[in-house]
Amino acid sequence: MEQILPHLDSVFSIDCVLFGFDGKELKILLIERNEEPFKDWWALPGNIVGPDESLDQSASRILYELTGLRGIYMEQYYAFGDPYRHPQGRVITLAYYALIRLGGDKELRPISTYAKRANWLPITDLPKLAFDHQKIYDKGLEKIKRRIKHQPIAFELLPEKFTLTQLQHVYELVLGKKLDKRNFRKKIVSFGVLKELDEKQKGVSYRAATLYRFDKRKYAKLFGKEISF
Amino acid sequence: MEQILPHLDSVFSIDCVLFGFDGKELKILLIERNEEPFKDWWALPGNIVGPDESLDQSASRILYELTGLRGIYMEQYYAFGDPYRHPQGRVITLAYYALIRLGGDKELRPISTYAKRANWLPITDLPKLAFDHQKIYDKGLEKIKRRIKHQPIAFELLPEKFTLTQLQHVYELVLGKKLDKRNFRKKIVSFGVLKELDEKQKGVSYRAATLYRFDKRKYAKLFGKEISF
DNA sequence: AATATAGTGTGTAATTTTTACACTAAGTAA
DNA sequence: TTACTTAGTGTAAAAATTACACACTATATT
């Protein structure tokens, strides 16, 4: 974000790219600004780092204020500090991304005053963003594209129990390309970090798929070995 | 660095891990502090970001002040902002690494006042570092380990003309493990980004090896395709 | 001139990984 | 019962990775 500029030489903020997945589309959370500069523009949610907060804490707080969610996987990925990126003065901002399963319930709390509203917008159809937020978003997407190939972050976007098709869908959306079903399943199962459940998908009007769960124990054991997609 | 703390809520600095290769060992540049806190300790070189500098510019300036070098490959990799990482107040620092071919000439200029001296020390035998600089260094090494597998950064550590054995040596030092000579050569040549020169190594008391050059043109063409080591 | 020394440069076979590709099975809805 | 929709599965060819050893060449030494 970056609204109020107290009388300091430089201001240090955090901006977040919150990726959400609702089972269909990949979305990010944007807020519509209620203040100059860039009043009425869409922007990434953000805030100023508090004096006694660590950076990670600060990012979690921003997420919590906006969505009411805690315990979400977030990761710092780049600092943006062009001296003129903010029209009203020097603001250095640190970008975080988070991965969130949508379609829950409790998301989207009351928003702070500098925003009119907040919305999950599909990444395939984003509006123009305030400040250099397009750049921040681009780099964030690039990061998760890279990371999803090596770290088990896809599961953060899915409910605890999920089907292999849903998992593949996440990979396809993030990587931006189709994957072969048989090869995908072969590979993902071969990592040995999925636990097949005795349960089936419910409420679908066709053959129900087997549910799986990401097995953190097994993953922890494999650590050192890296997943490679 | 992070010495003087003006009366601000927070201070924003840059710390650099400068990796240097002299043909034998991988080293980093450390400065011996001349001021409290951590007087007489070794620390990563750093400085406060100036009001009109971009972050990259600031990192380049710090490098230049210390070594007299310009045009060096540097990359931002992580922000460290624990509220208590600096005993005298809040200092958020952004870490950069750089890769430098040593054994040149002009390196190591006069040092600013907060340091007694600066030295290239082999990474296999580092002293205790001031502040959280060990953590910063660790993460930096981790980053280049990862990056050297996908990006052509090894060449930054070598003279313009180099032998395949020298190149392999760099990979081995960064990755911290031995590689098979024949397989290494096969693979690195297969990327097609090396130009074999008509020249041979000089001044060795054994069969002279063929020299190669990194071919930026070819690499640029391949872009999109990624190297994978 | 002969010899010792030290690093250069090269090929192949076995194994593993990746890729491309299509049909049957199961469950639901009409 | 039939139509529909997605689940679930195997194999063969190609490509990439691994493991492995010796002859060559230039110089230095005697």
Q: Does the beta-carbon distance from B83 to A54 stay under 8 Å?
A: yes
User: Contact A14/A80 with Cβ under 8 angstroms?
Assistant: no
Mean pLDDT per block of 10 residues along chain A (229 residues) reads 45 96 95 93 95 96 92 96 92 97 75 84 97 98 96 96 98 97 97 95 94 94 74
Residue A52 with chain B: CB contacts under 8 Å: 83
**The pLDDT value given to residue A5:** 38
Residues within 8 A of B (CB atoms), A 82-111 only = 82-83, 90, 92, 94
Residue B108: pLDDT band (50, 70, 90) is confident
Residue A81 with chain B: CB contacts under 8 Å: 49, 54-55, 94
Residue B187: pLDDT band (50, 70, 90) is very high
Of A53, A76, A90, the CB nearest to B78: A76
C-alpha to C-alpha distance for A108 and B89, rounded to whole angstroms: 35
Residue A93 identity: T
List, in order, residues 6 or more apart from A92 with CB less than 8 Å away: A10, A11, A12, A13, A79, A80, A81, B12, B49, B55
* Extents of the domains making up chain B: 11-148, 159-222
Q: Which residue is nearest to nucleotide D18 (CA to C1')?
A: B183
CATH number of B159-222: 1.10.10.10
pTM (2 d.p.): 0.93
- Min Cα distance B164 → chain A (Å) is 27
Q: Which fold has domain A11-148?
A: Nucleoside Triphosphate Pyrophosphohydrolase (3.90.79)
Residue A10 with chain B: CB contacts under 8 Å: 12, 49, 51
Q: Does the beta-carbon distance from A83 to B52 stay under 8 Å?
A: yes
Task: Tell me which residues from 208 to 227 on chain A have a beta carbon below 7 angstroms from nucleic acid strand D.
Answer: 208-210
* A151 part of contact set with chain B, CB < 8 Å: no
**The pLDDT value given to residue B7:** 41
- Min Cα distance A149 → chain B (Å) is 13
**The pLDDT value given to residue B225:** 62
Q: Which fold has domain A161-222?
A: Arc Repressor Mutant, subunit A (1.10.10)
User: Contact A27/A121 with Cβ under 8 angstroms?
Assistant: yes
Cis? peptide before B51, omega within 30° of 0? no
Same fold flag, B11-148 and B159-222: no
C-alpha to C-alpha distance for A174 and A5, rounded to whole angstroms: 35
* B136 part of contact set with chain A, CB < 8 Å: no
Report the complex ipTM.
Answer: 0.92
